[in-house]
Structure 1
Amino acid sequence: MNIIRLSRTNLSSGSFLKVETREVDDWEQQFTDALEIGYSYQLAKRMEQFKTNPALGYRTAGSKAEFETGEMLRREMEAIGLKDVHKDKVTVDAWEFEKAEMRFTDSEGVRHCFQLGAYQTNFDTEGTREFEIVYLGKGTADCYDCVDVEGKLVLVDINQRDEWWINFPVYQAHLRGAAALVAVQEQGYGEVHNTALNAQDIAGPADAPAFSISQADAWVLKKAMMEAGSCPDESGMEPGNMGAVLVEFEARTTVAPDRETYNIVGTIPGRGTDRMILITAHYDSYFSGFQDDNAAVAMMFGIARALLKGGYRPKFNLVFCAMAAEEWGVANSKYDWSTGAYEEVFTAHPEWRGKTFANFNFELPAHAHGQMDAVRCTYEYEDFLSRFLEGVEVDEAAYPDGVEVLCPIQTWSDDFSMAVAGIPSMVNEFSGGEFMETHYHSQFDNDNVYQEPVYLFHHVLYGRLVMAFDRLLLPPMNFERLIRAVTDSDDVGIRRKAEADIWEMKRALKKAKEVSRVLYRRITELNRDYAALLAQGDMDAADRMFERYGDMQERLLYIFRKEQDYFVRLNWHDEVLFPQEAVQDNLRALYKALRHAGEGNARAALEDVYGIDNNRYAFLFDEQVFNYFTQYVLNQPGNRLKWGAGRIVHHENLFQLVRSLKEKLEEGREKAVDLTPEYLELKRVTENQTACYRDDIRYMTESIKKLTAWMQECLTM
């Protein structure tokens, strides 16, 4: 059993927690004894000195501040004793955000100065300029009716978590001739305080400028607009009732395509092998970025430093990589984040694929995102991690409800780029807590939210997990977990309605489950035998066994990589799913829409159609906006789509259908109306999607058979 207990002492910044371990070997004890949590905390704070924007912070992709931070991290890697320290050059679209200040004098003569956040777009006022600014509610197409925005700033409210992303209203404003859009987060992000600014990736073109403003500052402008409009109180706060006000604006934000930036790499060399364990965190940030991701980079350094100070001698090459351009790095792409990581493993070091047993990626690790902690991983490592964590305990100062394992990997961070490259990955779970809605990507992400027991626990946990993987002969892949997930994804009702031949797939899944179970038993036995040799100190025999099973190591990693190609798809919300699931979900909505259209129920049919692909936005923005953000996913080259290339399939553009249903709804109100044309269109789309679903089932069946054959080959090695 591996037990980790933390006893609290002084928990102030830079202090130390005493680590008590029981039933662990000498190397683990020496590692925990060598940990200095104060070192990691201070390194995270040191990273804040480099800023793109002097007032707000920001350390953006390809910027001077990112370069300077990378240089500091390179020197730090050398100082703590890592070997082969170097910078890997990668190409990204760079962003420099230097300034965004808005000044305004209200009707009482009070002078206001607002600091604005920015998005990754081009806008340079070349000094202070005067603009009219108008309020347009949610910034949807109908908000522009009878409102002239040519050359003006447009102020809109947005909730990116529960509604649409920032790119839709930004491009809508751009098409209507606005100089720039200024967004205020009303909910979803930045909820910690009404003075919070928020930053996210733009997922749109660089020539459609966008900025962010706090609720408090926006209210000053809205109040003045009401006074200038036809209704001077909140009861008439609609775009048509609000007047324009004059502001002074000075901004410099610049996107530069195809610029060089650097991932910073250092290694603790292994013994006579090219096999790797990869530890990563990203060093670009919004605002000061204490949690996201300074603390993560510093934790990576803290683990490396403790391993070195404790004298640990790994078998694997332990490669530590500070990644650039995670928050953003490619213009005009739906998949514009995790660019530095993607380029590292697909361009700079594609040879890492097939050699790397695991990627440990760190995000926001110095704050508890719930009562229970979690390690999020690829399906194949769930079993191994669950068994490891069975013996891990932590006191209530960190996670009173313990630790669990979640899968699959999500698209939120660099571990997804690693996984689809064929490197099994994991990350400390960070996306489920309220921090994401309150502090995340705001100026309130600072060391006021630092929780030292959590930070230390993650140092200890992931340091020991690195050592646990370093003692493996074979990557501990349980492919049965993936097979179970594929089986669970099957919707029997949809399959029957679509008359899909699912039975062959079921037989293939059953065979794959049987073979994967035998294979994982074999992997576990071999890893146990190898561990016994290490425990006996017979390093020569262990090394011979490691070399003996080199082909099997490579084959297992090859299977994992092919799984990512065969089985990983995305929907329009960037959720990870299997190939048939997107069409399956579409068919579920289409069957309901057909029934409601047949009944003449336009309202219900419209709600059903909203569930198909990305059509929920269809009636809210101009058709040109909708088409732009559809086609740039389907018809851009892979080097612009990065990790999302080819992972959205079988799209149906239903803009005209949505418009027609909405018009019928307006005409008929709640009465039954003639929806015959809409019914026929839905029937045509259903036939298309049914054909795609049957193809996907056949594709899945053949993919599962290939997977099974490869697993059987492994059993002969």
Structure 2
Amino acid sequence: SYSTHEGALTSEGNIVPAWQVRSPEEEQFKAMIDGSYAFKFARKLSSIKTYERGFRMGGTPAAKQAADMVYKEMRKLGLEDVQFHTFPVYGWEFKGASIEVEGQTFEAISLTSTPGTPPEGVTGELVFAGNGTMEDYADLDIDGKVALVAVDYDLLPWPSNVGLEARVHGTPAALIIYNLNYYGQDPSGEAFTQQDWSGTAVDFPVLNVPKNSGERLKSLATSGRVMATVKSKVNEYPDAKGYNVLGFIRGSEHPDEYIITGGHLDAYFEGFQDDALACGVALAIAKAMKETGYRPKHTIVFAIVDAEEFGAKGAWHDWLIGSWNLINDKTDWHDGLLANVNLELMGYKESEQIETRACDELLSFLKSFASTYKPDPEAFPNPEIAIHHGVSTWTDEWSYSYFGMPTICTKTDDRVSEEFYHSQFDTWERADPAKAQELAEFYGTIIMRIDNSLIHPYDLTIRPARFMEEVDRGAAAITGTDISNVIEAARRYEMAAAEVMQALVEAEEVYVTLNNAMAKAGTVEKASPLGGRSQAPITKAGTGTRVDGKSDETSALAQLKEAADKVNKKLRALNRYLYAETQFLGSTYPEEVVFQTTHYQHDPVVFEKLSQMVKSGDVSGAASLISDWDNGVYGNYYAPYHSYDVWTQFILKYFNNPDPKTEFFSRGRQLRFHDVWRLTHELMKKAAFAEQGGTVSVTPSDISKITRLSFDALKNYRAALDHDRGVWVKAMTLLPTVEELKELKDASQAARKLVTSVSN
């Protein structure tokens, strides 16, 4: 379900006092933030529609109109070098749909990437196909008919699964679906739901109706033979362009190092919270920074991207196309990717507290920042910031993380996801201007705190600690696998990283302390009107001036910054390496971001248990285990409900044999899954026979199949351990060197000695 991909609520992370310190610039910024501006802009953006209910999909005129509006607004705000970044996208434009049955007309929507109908529509007998599983079609003829499916997302997780399963069993004139759970569960029962298609496209119209309409159609279909006419107007633009919009506030000290923030301009329906309000909040942050004259040390990129919802027909991961293309194309940015603050699905009026999420490296920073942040109780009555840990492949943060950029992201209120996400109810009425104000302050000051840090505020110890925690000692014992080498490599890296962290945190604390002392003494580092940083005149006696005309404090700061710059460059390179080698798509469901070992250690244990069950004649237990969500073979949970061709396309085609043409943010990150569909169904048949009193015999062939699978799984597991051991060994060599740390420590000590003299 969606919640597993949005990060686990956590108490992990360390408090670093230096990351808790607020600057006067932050207070000026917060005083200038205008939440009403964000809200008004979002209302204007969400009013751009393809038809009366909304839709502004990448590659369509509506999305281009939205991009033009953002471009003009960025220019108006005074952002620098405002530009379009264009990329190829599959444009899909929906203009309205209906279903006519027995004189009744039901409004509908077409599902992304599916075709429309001729103007006169398509007509066929309306037949109810249950939940749309393989079993539901066993005795059903759907050729030339209009099939109706009540989708249970616990059985078929994507609309593509529903469509492809129907295609296996016939050639329907059209397919109509309505949701029973997870999405579009607004209490009214009137929510349309537009979910990502995700996978191989079909050649017939597929439409969605609200649950209430679906139940009425089901009643008509099951009461006797009735005819349905389906009409849908869809325009497709296979060779369209998407338009990301970029605006900059250039860094005064590090113009080639980037903090990227923003939202996405495309949307299903009006998309007020997903994601017009986030775009408004990003621009409100930019507006306040410009109005206060804030000159960042690093370049802040305001990226309002296109085609987040959809942009690649036939791709398993058909979303995040705009952000992925942006960073993939901007190769000159890669060495300077400092942090991404991604804004997504925010401002729900019923939310009680701020929820946010961070990756491993920024978790301690976010925890430190949040520990002293006090939200306005009028906006968020619960003052505690709920911090989640992880990276989601469901938001643009993953595109940035893919290329080695640490991320912080908004965390969606679960009620939004379940009730009106991707529905016509995502309008301004369900959002709160006071929350827009507070969230602009919250994320804007996060950006400033990161920008003003001497050392990039990364905690290097959480990733190896998480790896060691996830390594399953039980799996190693059951399979007779030695994991001591990989654990030792990770532990050595963690210990070395902890030593590095101590030096980095000490340098940050000295930097903050010296700056504060200089501010009190009247020697304040402040923004130069010509850009860069300048030193105000020393007004307190006894601080001393060097022969070169620079104060001791200026010289000490310069040396500290020079040493810090060398270390920061190493930290960014380290992240690029670790993110490429420790962030893969796998686990129970192939969207979670996992280590190779985390994924591959699971199945050998499952096959060992299956072997024991089958040998002992417990086929019912084996049939239950093999597709269990938590304990079964990874990726196999949905196998009982799919035909082999559908399951193969859903899992094996995209992960074991990916097509480069349909790979985007999964490129090079797919982990392999086992083909156990036939074994699953054989066990299910034998278990059903046994439950009816039949005698089930286990053949040598049954044992042989599991033995082969077990051998392959064990080979993958041990290869993953070797890979991950190599990662931690290599990462050790990428940490700042002894010489670089000594230079930083020496500069820190020199700066620390001046703190007392400045204070006195």
TM-score by length of 2: 0.85
SS where residue 354 of structure 1 aligns? helix
SS where residue 176 of structure 2 aligns? strand
State the distance in 1 between where 2:336 and 2:645 align: 46
Question: Identity over aligned residues, as a percent?
Answer: 23
Residue number in structure 1 paired with 2:200: 205
Residue number in structure 1 paired with 2:690: 668
Q: Contact 1:516–1:711 at 8 Å: present in 2 too?
A: yes
Distance 1:422 1:632, change over 3 A: same
Q: Contact 2:321–2:664 at 8 Å: present in 1 too?
A: yes
State the distance in 2 between where 1:669 and 1:532 align: 73
Which of 44, 59, 62 in structure 1 is aligned with 2:59?
62
More moved, 219-228 vs 506-515:
219-228
SS where residue 615 of structure 1 aligns? coil
Please list, as runs of the form range in 1=range in 2, the aligned pairs for 1:610-689 lying within 5 A after superposition: 610=627, 611-629=632-650, 630-669=652-691, 673-676=696-699, 677-689=701-713
Please list, as runs of the form range in 1=range in 2, the aligned pairs for 1:56-205 lying within 5 A after superposition: 56-106=53-103, 111-160=104-153, 163-175=156-168, 176-192=170-186, 193-205=188-200
1:414 to partner: Cα distance = 0.3
Q: Deviations over 1:319-351 (max 9, x none)?
A: 10101011111121221111111000012x122
Distance 1:189 1:689, change over 3 A: same
1:117 to partner: Cα distance = 4.2
Residue number in structure 1 paired with 2:32: 34
1:646 to partner: Cα distance = 3.1
Residue number in structure 2 paired with 1:283: 265
Q: Contact 1:159–1:189 at 8 Å: present in 2 too?
A: no
Unaligned runs of 5+ in 1: 1-21, 229-242
Residue number in structure 1 paired with 2:483: 502
1:581 to partner: Cα distance = 1.4
Residue number in structure 2 paired with 1:217: 213
Q: Contact 2:364–2:459 at 8 Å: present in 1 too?
A: yes
Q: Contact 2:121–2:231 at 8 Å: present in 1 too?
A: yes
Which of 555, 558, 562 in structure 1 is aligned with 2:573?
558
State the distance in 1 between where 2:686 and 2:145 align: 35
Residue number in structure 2 paired with 1:309: 291
Please list, as runs of the form range in 1=range in 2, the aligned pairs for 1:433-582 lying within 5 A after superposition: 433-532=414-513, 534-535=515-516, 536=518, 537-538=524-525, 539-540=533-534, 541=554, 542=557, 545-571=560-586, 572-582=589-599
SS where residue 737 of structure 2 aligns? helix
State the distance in 2 between where 1:439 and 1:396 align: 25
SS where residue 116 of structure 1 aligns? strand
Distance 1:119 1:132, change over 3 A: farther
Distance 1:162 1:170, change over 3 A: closer
SS where residue 663 of structure 2 aligns? helix
Q: Which amino acid aligns with 2:622?
A: A
State the distance in 1 between where 2:446 and 2:649 align: 45
Q: Deviations over 1:621-665 (max 9, x none)?
A: 221112222213322334522111233323210121112112212
Residue number in structure 2 paired with 1:597: 614
1:392 to partner: Cα distance = 1.2
State the distance in 1 between where 2:223 and 2:659 align: 49
Q: Which amino acid aligns with 2:468?
A: T
1:42 to partner: Cα distance = 0.6
Q: Contact 2:338–2:456 at 8 Å: present in 1 too?
A: yes
More moved, 532-541 vs 82-91:
532-541
Q: Contact 2:357–2:408 at 8 Å: present in 1 too?
A: yes
Distance 1:499 1:368, change over 3 A: farther
Distance 1:259 1:112, change over 3 A: closer
1:559 to partner: Cα distance = 0.7
More moved, 571-580 vs 334-343:
571-580
Distance 1:483 1:575, change over 3 A: same
Q: Deviations over 1:129-154 (max 9, x none)?
A: 43332210011122223322122221
State the distance in 2 between where 1:496 and 1:352 align: 45
State the distance in 2 between where 1:612 and 1:491 align: 16
1:496 to partner: Cα distance = 1.3
Q: Contact 1:419–1:564 at 8 Å: present in 2 too?
A: yes
Note if 1:360 corresponds to 2:382.
no
SS where residue 616 of structure 1 aligns? coil
State the distance in 1 between where 2:353 and 2:615 align: 48
Q: Deviations over 1:504-538 (max 9, x none)?
A: 11221221111100111222223334445654324
SS where residue 166 of structure 2 aligns? helix
Q: Which amino acid aligns with 1:112?
A: T
State the distance in 2 between where 1:482 and 1:143 align: 45
Q: Which amino acid aligns with 2:340?
A: N
1:545 to partner: Cα distance = 4.6
State the distance in 2 between where 1:688 and 1:67 align: 49
Q: Contact 1:270–1:317 at 8 Å: present in 2 too?
A: yes
Q: Contact 1:386–1:404 at 8 Å: present in 2 too?
A: no
Distance 1:162 1:225, change over 3 A: closer
Residue number in structure 1 paired with 2:234: 253
Q: Which amino acid aligns with 1:574?
A: E
More moved, 471-480 vs 674-683:
674-683
State the distance in 1 between where 2:337 and 2:349 align: 29
SS where residue 364 of structure 2 aligns? helix
State the distance in 2 between where 1:695 and 1:387 align: 38
What RMSD, in angstroms, separates the aligned Cα atoms of the two structures? 2.2
Note if 1:700 corresponds to 2:700.
no
Q: Which amino acid aligns with 1:674?
A: S
Distance 1:277 1:534, change over 3 A: farther
Q: Contact 2:134–2:642 at 8 Å: present in 1 too?
A: yes
Distance 1:372 1:366, change over 3 A: closer
1:314 to partner: Cα distance = 1.3
Q: Contact 2:122–2:230 at 8 Å: present in 1 too?
A: yes
1:78 to partner: Cα distance = 0.8
Q: Which amino acid aligns with 2:356?
A: V
1:608 to partner: Cα distance = 1.5
SS where residue 95 of structure 1 aligns? strand
1:168 to partner: Cα distance = 1.2
SS where residue 648 of structure 2 aligns? helix
SS where residue 233 of structure 2 aligns? strand
Q: Which amino acid aligns with 2:580?
A: D
Q: Count matched residues.
A: 674
Distance 1:159 1:483, change over 3 A: same
1:561 to partner: Cα distance = 1.1
